Structure 1
């Protein structure tokens, strides 16, 4: 905003002098008019703040938001699981990222709050406590405008799960990147230590592949929780491994595993790009078993969502035939998810891993199992299928399929 500051008396005097010849030499004197006197408000460097927020995107998978307050200050609210020692932060700036006025953030030493200028503290206290409220909790005398942060450019990368255990010998929480056979052998020996009938390490061709893995650590998850790699992608030159901590949505009855330490290893194409790990906490949905068959009448691989009785009746006839009793489903409250492997080798299988809800979408995580290389298998085929019922939802449903050696 440009503020024009002038005095009515000064302008009147200038006009009088101009009319009288001013200094007496016949030339009107140069005067400073109202348009010449300006004061500039600070200009918000939006591009610099966007660059700052995008640069921290791996630590901001939960929240990453910027607002301009009254055209003079910027408030940044960030939270995520990607950086364990700084899970969240809230900061108030002037016109540029260099002009930090107040901050409150997570740290190894615990939450820290400070203000370089105490005159900014009252405003910061309001917006930091009301980051999810309309107008950041400020009254109508303040104008709050969001700065749009673009999604980081990303390309999905294929990956294959090679090992997933609810308990393993590695008791420390860690993420790993393995690029050579010796390091892999050492890690595998640590994973299977103490296991009865420990399986051999799945084969990995380190000339073209590498292994990434997530280890939750001993007793790190509540009873009934699960861990799983959900996505691997290339974002802004970094390989990002997204993994989920899947927690039950309600109280469950289960027996806690002594020293339970969930883990998963996956293979991806070999790369020299930096690898980042991003954690997501999601709700583990309860699924009611409808049918689990090794020989479905549906012989092509497909994923199906059924929302009504007539569609279910047709599906059941195609899947199980007319002689097998059809389960009763209340479609006013439930919906059916169907997974069909199609014709596969007799040694192959189909496993539903989990169904999760992150508040934005439902994800059905499942995998096809294949035997280790060299396994003797009956020369027959079959068509595995799994049908489950979940609570009816309006959220979009996505399917995530892996192949795992088992």
Structure 2
């Protein structure tokens, strides 16, 4: 009789454990990326996140990004049949302490999540007092699905469908 009572006490715990074992945990796959440019002084003066899917759009973005560079370097070669360009521009910031860095990209349940960190001044930080326009531009493998930008530490999240035409993708990412 004691064994039956003991078994009845353990049954609810066993049921909880079995049900937890069957819960779906999303598979997270790291997406490898390469930095194209990481700068404090971009020609892009407004805050935006952008996905680029064509050479024409890439050349326009690169020209805007490098417009302050008197040498105007040619846009790096990107194979848009296999890659996309992802960019985070902070826009104009009041001093040199601000920066941005894309830290990781993951493929989670049909979408790419690009996580970036914005560094902001704190306390009596010593820095240059010149207006900066921090930017980080990367290439990622071209994948089906949507792409979300997520600020690490601030919780801001902006969704950009990868299937959206370039003109609306830029607008959706900057909203």
TM-score range, shorter chain: 0.5 to 0.7
Task: Check conservation: 1:155, 1:233, Cα contact below 8 A.
Answer: yes
Aligned to 2:71: 197
TM-score (norm 2): 0.68
Alpha-carbon shift at residue 263 of structure 1 (Å) = 0.7
Counterpart in the other structure of 1:240: 113
Checking the alignment, whether the CA contact within 8 Å between 2:99 and 2:135 is kept in structure 1 is no
The reply on whether 1:275 has 2:168 as its aligned counterpart is no
CA distance in structure 2 between the partners assigned to 1:227 and 1:210 by the alignment = 19
**8 Å contact kept, 1:175–1:215:** yes
With over 3 angstroms needed to count, the CA separation of the structure-2 counterparts of 1:249 and 1:212, relative to structure 1, is: same
8 Å Cα contact 1:246-1:281 kept in structure 2 = no
Q: Displacement, 1:173? A: 0.9
- The 2-side partners of 1:154 and 1:177 are apart by 21
1:224, 1:173 → 2: CA distance?
A: 16
CA contact (8 A) 1:226 1:247 kept: yes
CA distance in 2, matches of 1:177, 1:236: 19
2 CA distance for matches of 1:196 and 1:252? 31
CA contact (8 A) 2:95 2:130 kept: no
The structure number with the bigger radius of gyration is 1
Instruction: Give yes or no for contact 1:226–1:262 (8 Å, CA) kept in 2.
Output: yes
For residues 170 and 223 of structure 1, what CA distance do their matches in structure 2 show?
16
Count of matched residue positions in the alignment of Structure 1 and Structure 2: 132
Question: Using the alignment, how far apart are the partners of 2:129 and 2:24 within structure 1?
Answer: 43
Return closer, same or farther for 1:257/1:237 CA change in 2, 3 Å cut-off: same
What is the TM-score of this pair, normalised by structure 1?
0.31
Q: Which runs of 5+ in 2 are unaligned?
A: 1-22, 155-175
Q: Post-superposition, which runs of at least 4 consecutive aligned residues in structure 1 deviate over 4 A?
A: 149-152
Of Structure 1 and Structure 2, the greater strand share is in 1
Counterpart mapping for 1:220-231 below 5 A: 223-231=96-104
Alpha-carbon distance between aligned partners in 2 of 1:266 and 1:274, rounded to the nearest angstrom: 17
Q: Distance in 2 between matches of 1:201 and 1:162?
A: 10
Give structure 1 stretches of 5+ with no counterpart: 1-148, 283-406
Q: 1:188 aligns with which of 62, 65, 69?
A: 62
- Which structure shows the higher helix fraction? 2
State the match for 1:266 in structure 2.
138
Cα pair distance change 1:248/1:203, threshold 3 Å: same
Structure 1 contact 242–278 (Cα < 8 Å) conserved: yes
